Amino acid sequence: MLVIVAPGQGAQVPGFLAPWLELPGMTERFERWSQVAGLDLRHYGTDADADEIRDTAVAQPLLVSAGLAAAVALFGDVESAPEPMDAVAGHSVGELTAAALAGVLRPEDALALVAERGRGMAEAAAQTATGMTAVLGGDRDEVLAALESHGLTPANDNGAGQIVAAGTTEQLEAFAADPPARARLRSLSVAGAFHTRHMAPAVERVARLAETIEPADPRTRLLSNSDGAVVADGGEYLQRLVQQISTPVRWDSCTETLAELGATALIELPPAGTLTGLAKRGLPGVERLAVKTPDDLERARELVREHAESTALQQEGRP
């Protein structure tokens, strides 16, 4: 069973888009996508520095466009071509990439939504001094209890012993001064407390745009960050996308669902590495491929072909 996953904010690094723009037709594609997003995606993905692409309003459209570009290079026309995959999932903003791969959103609709999402979340983050801290290790119950005692939200429950705490700067400072036993804390370079109540203004903003979009039902299994469920209704998935802005990401639940479905191979779209790293512990025995540059496409295509051949044999009743 082949799974395609798309990473969330924080995975971007300066210049990561440059090699993808060298592929045939990509420069023209990014010119169109830049018009939709209202950003010069080529500039931000090639020439911008780390501070520029840390901006939420920039990072989110950049991530989705990069994932879509790699999917086009791997699969062809992601809008109409049948997808040789059994499941697709995205982490946080990566859910918009996943929705486009599954056919719920047109690429242009995904980019319009993510641009509005990024602007809305950046504005919401500017209202209060907030942030996020990764909590690595420690007893899970003790970590969650410590977060609650400090008024923090487990904004990302990534499984594999990793939970991301989010809240005000003061709350995070108090938490850092009194960490859970055997846990390591790492402050994240993000602009605010994403996936918490602090993002409520962004939910309202994105909801207005979502009302103008007509989603289709997914053409493959599409997982939701809310609870790891496979969502078969496009309208419901779009609603979940909007509400997810201010509610925690349960990637641990998505991992559990993929295990239950019988995942055997996982391909992560660029900027790849984070989700394949989590899968190393959360999905043991599953072949993992982080597609970081076009040089990784050959192996990705081999995995797709191997999957297609295996599926065909199973359909014929052959081992």
In the predicted model, what is the mean pLDDT of the chain?
94
In this model, does residue 318 exceed pLDDT 60? Answer: no
Q: Is the dihedral of CA 209, 61, 233, 200 positive or negative?
A: negative
Q: Is 150 a catalytic residue?
A: no
> Per-residue confidence at 190, pLDDT binned at 50, 70, 90?
confident
Using only the alpha carbons of the chain, give its radius of gyration.
19
Q: In this prediction, what percent of the chain has a pLDDT beyond 90?
A: 89
As a whole number, mean pLDDT of residues 215-228 equals 97
| Residue 248 exposure: Cα atoms within 13 Å on the Cβ side | 22
Query: What is the reported pTM?
Result: 0.94
Specify whether 195 is catalytic. Answer: yes
Q: What is the mean pLDDT of residues 281-288?
A: 95
233-237, 276-280, 300-304, 309-313: least confident range: 309-313
Instruction: Kindly report the backbone phi and psi dihedral angles of residue 215, in degrees, each rounded to the nearest multiple of 5, phi listed first.
Output: -75, 155
Catalytic one of 195, 198, 224, 246: 195
Residue 79: per-residue pLDDT: 73
Beta partners for residue 163, in sequence order: 135, 157
* Catalytic one of 92, 224, 226, 246: 92
Give the start-end residues of each E strand in the chain.
Answer: 2-6, 87-90, 130-137, 153-159, 162-168, 183-187, 221-222, 265-268, 287-290
Which pLDDT does position 10 carry in this prediction?
Answer: 85
- Asked if residue 274 has pLDDT above 80, the reply is yes
Q: In this predicted structure, what is the pLDDT of residue 280?
A: 95
Predicted confidence (pLDDT) per residue in 81-115, tens digit = 555 689 999 999 999 999 999 999 999 999 999 99
How far is the C-alpha of 171 from the C-alpha of 189, rounded, in Å? 17
Rounded Cα gap, residues 38 and 32, in angstroms: 10
Q: Return the pLDDT at 76.
A: 84
- DSSP secondary structure code for residue 296 in this structure: G
Q: Using an 8 Å Cβ cutoff, are 119 and 61 in contact?
A: no
Query: What pLDDT is stored for residue 81 in this prediction?
Result: 53
Quick check: 175 pLDDT over 90? yes
What digits encode the pLDDT tens for the residues 244-253? 999 999 999 9
pLDDT for 259 beyond 90:
yes
- Is the separation of the CB atoms in 171 and 150 below 8 Å? yes
Sign, Cα dihedral of 177, 181, 186, 192 = negative
Paired residues of 135 in beta bridges:
163, 185
Tokens, residue 315: 């359909």
Helices and strands, counts by H and E, the chain: 14, 9
Q: CB–CB of 226/250 below 8 Å?
A: yes
pLDDT-derived band at 47, boundaries 50, 70, 90: very high
Region 169-187: mean pLDDT is: 96
Query: What pLDDT score was predicted for residue 315?
Result: 63
The pLDDT assigned to 160 comes to 84
What mean pLDDT do residues 299-307 have?
92
Q: Is residue 287's pLDDT more than 70?
A: yes
Give the separation between CA 64 and CA 8, rounded to whole angstroms. Answer: 9
